[in-house]
Amino acid sequence: MTGKKITNLPFIPHSSSNTGGVEASLIDVGKRLVAAGLTYSRMGNISARAGDMMLISATGSFLDRLKGEIVKVPLDAGEPPSRASSDALIHLGIYLRTEARGIVHTHSPFLVALSALIRAHAFRPLDIEGRYYLGEIPIVSGATGSRNLARALARELQTHPCAVVRFHGAFARGESLYDAFHYVACAEHSCMVKYLVLLAQRTKKR
Ligand SMILES: [Zn+2]
């Protein structure tokens, strides 16, 4: 699994016998995502692997208020329960095809803006941090919640820690939920830097 290893982040064990610990990490990371401005309101979803289960935010939930809003889904569930996030199929596909232990999905504004501006199928960060942690950020297309999008994302996330769905938002996976949080934060930062550089270049030409 690629993506540089992250250290010095809170460690909460993920195992089938400790779903309470996994729930605590989901609640904590949900709050961090909103506090960092990476997503807000009912946009986005997060999940973590716990043994042969996935714990995922409920559909329509606020990521900074996840207490009582987390759904347990078996990893071999063909059809996730309706109370689970509408992107549950995508999360399941990523867990089945990668060694991910945590996944975050955000509607981060600069990621979405760059996915609309860049026609290529991948974006290479300008900043050193982004290049170190992400390499490049693939851009995929597909209908929300569809099996085609689930397959495309799982394929890209086998070799990249973060990918963007064009006009929609980012999916990042990591060896822990905190790794996934870090990757999406790095990706949003890289997109903001790139956007500001493009804007400055355009203004200079006038
Ligand atoms: Zn979304």
Q: What is the CATH number of the domain that holds 87?
A: 3.40.225.10
Three-state DSSP class for residue 45: strand
Q: How far is the CA of 119 from the centre of ligand 1 (A)?
A: 20
pLDDT digits (tens, 9 = 90+) for 63-98: 999 999 999 999 988 888 999 999 999 999 999 999
Residue 10 inside a domain? The answer is no
pLDDT digits (tens, 9 = 90+) for 46-65: 999 999 999 999 999 999 99
pLDDT of residue 4: 62
Judged by phi (left if over 0) then psi (alpha if -120 to 50, else beta), residue 179 lies in alpha
Q: 105: which DSSP letter?
A: E
**Other CB atoms within 10 Å distance of the CB of residue 33:** 24
114, 131 in Cβ contact below 8 A?
no
Q: 58: which DSSP letter?
A: B
Q: How far is the CA of 42 from the centre of ligand 1 (A)?
A: 9
Q: How far is the CA of 26 from the centre of ligand 1 (A)?
A: 17
pLDDT of residue 14: 46
Q: How far is the CA of 87 from the centre of ligand 1 (A)?
A: 8
- pLDDT-based confidence at residue 3 (cuts at 50, 70, 90): low
Residue 6 inside a domain? The answer is no
| pLDDT at 142 exceeding the cut of 90 | no
Q: How far is the CA of 45 from the centre of ligand 1 (A)?
A: 7
Residue 57 inside a domain? The answer is yes
| pLDDT at 129 exceeding the cut of 50 | yes
pTM, to two decimals: 0.89
Containing domain of residue 26, as a range? 16-205
Residue 106 inside a domain? The answer is yes
Residue 104 to residue 14: CA distance in whole angstroms: 16
pLDDT digits (tens, 9 = 90+) for 146-172: 888 999 999 999 999 999 999 999 999
Residue 196 inside a domain? The answer is yes
pLDDT of residue 69: 96
167, 82 in Cβ contact below 8 A?
no
Q: How far is the CA of 86 from the centre of ligand 1 (A)?
A: 9
Q: How far is the CA of 43 from the centre of ligand 1 (A)?
A: 6
Residue 63 to residue 27: CA distance in whole angstroms: 8
Q: How far is the CA of 22 from the centre of ligand 1 (A)?
A: 22
Q: How far is the CA of 203 from the centre of ligand 1 (A)?
A: 32
Share of the chain above pLDDT 90, in %: 79
Q: How far is the CA of 1 from the centre of ligand 1 (A)?
A: 24
Q: How far is the CA of 167 from the centre of ligand 1 (A)?
A: 10
Q: How far is the CA of 63 from the centre of ligand 1 (A)?
A: 12
Three-state DSSP class for residue 80: coil
Mean pLDDT of 107-120: 94
Token digits of residue 137: 């950020």
pLDDT of residue 11: 44
Q: Identify residues whose C-beta is under 5 A from ligand 1, the ion.
A: 169
Domain count, the chain: 1
Three-state DSSP class for residue 106: strand
Residue 3 inside a domain? The answer is no
